[in-house]
Homo-oligomer: A and B are copies of this chain.
Amino acid sequence: MQIRKAEPRDAAAIAEIILPTFREGSTYTVDPDISEADARAYWLSPDKETFVAEDAGVIVGTYIMRPNQAGGGRHVCNCGYMTRAGATGRGIARAMCLHSLDHARSRGYRAMQFNFVVATNERALRLWQSLGFEIVGRLPGAFRHPVHGYVDALVMYQTLKGKSP
């Protein structure tokens, strides 16, 4: 599996990954009725770096990185990861997160923050913890889950060792 910067030709494959996730509405705070054009624009906007994980010519995952805040907060990055339906359980999200941590260091970021990990997303939560993220905040009832109703969201954070700006 290769992880590389997304190219314009990847847009359709990326849409096939992100649209079902947005539609399902249980992990990302994006309008489930977002149009395909808006979803593509969101994931591939110029303020983000977009990557894809490619396995035997198939795009099996994608992630985005951006500064989490501007001004005095721009040394902390934020990422979002998605694995293609049917490709979960193969370590793709883990590989993308590790790639993103390396990339963040190389770009001079001093920390990575996830603003909104839905508390019911236990697999993601365990994965991020195993990769060094700590729960630094809990937002009570901040997410309306399509099945579970109002559930907490977690703020996760990892200070990056090594190269600094």
* Residue contact A145 to B72, C-beta cutoff 8 Å: yes
* Residue contact A139 to B76, C-beta cutoff 8 Å: yes
A7-15, A28-36, A50-58: which lies at the interface: A28-36
A70 neighbours in B (Cβ, 8 Å):
29-31
* Residue contact B115 to A72, C-beta cutoff 8 Å: no
1/0 contact string of A133-147 vs chain B (CB within 8 Å): 000111111111110
| Distance of A54 from chain B, by nearest CB (Å) | 28
What band does the interface of chain A fall in when counting residues whose beta carbon is under 8 Å from B? 35 or more
* Residue contact A144 to B75, C-beta cutoff 8 Å: yes
Determine if A111 is an interface residue (Cβ-Cβ < 8 Å): yes
A28 neighbours in B (Cβ, 8 Å):
71
A136 neighbours in B (Cβ, 8 Å):
137-140
